[in-house]
């Protein structure tokens, strides 16, 4: 069994256990970059959703608390207009998205700093 297949069978319990090149690892890296203002929120949103799709396609497995924490970011992005021309009342703002990402990183110990 190769490393990639072995990693799919394992359930990652903490942010520190997640390999950098995995879809989940990419999600965490993007969250850290947004937290440090190294990426704009709209670009973060698109890339994070792409990384989530990769994680799902690769059948990456997460412990319940990590899964739920990342879902909070997903739910925020579900209400976030990547194109500001489509922003409506009640949509997630850039500031709210940043706050949710920071809270999630703090909750899962994923700051990586």
pLDDT tens for 33-73 read 999 999 999 999 999 999 999 999 999 999 999 999 999 99
Query: Are the beta carbons of 73 and 104 closer than 8 angstroms?
Result: yes
- What pTM does this model have? 0.88
pLDDT at residue 110 in the model: 75
Query: Which H or E run contains 62?
Result: strand 61-62
Classify the phi-psi angles of 21: left when phi > 0, otherwise alpha if psi is within -120 to 50, otherwise beta. Answer: alpha
| CA end-to-end span of the chain | 33
Give the number of other Cβ atoms within 10 Å of residue 65's Cβ: 12
pLDDT band at 1 (very low <50, low <70, confident <90, very high): very low
């Amino acid at each position: 069994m190769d490393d990639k297949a072995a990693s799919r069978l394992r359930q990652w319990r903490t942010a520190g256990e997640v390999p950098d090149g995995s879809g989940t690892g990419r999600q965490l890296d993007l969250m850290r970059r947004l937290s440090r203002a190294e990426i704009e929120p709209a670009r973060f949103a698109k890339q994070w959703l792409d990384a989530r799709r990769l994680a799902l396609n690769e059948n990456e497995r997460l412990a319940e608390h990590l899964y739920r924490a990342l879902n909070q970011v997903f739910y925020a992005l579900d209400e976030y207009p990547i194109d500001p021309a489509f922003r409506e009342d009640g949509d997630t703002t850039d500031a709210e998205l940043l706050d949710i990402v920071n809270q999630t990183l703090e909750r899962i110990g994923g700051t990586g700093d």
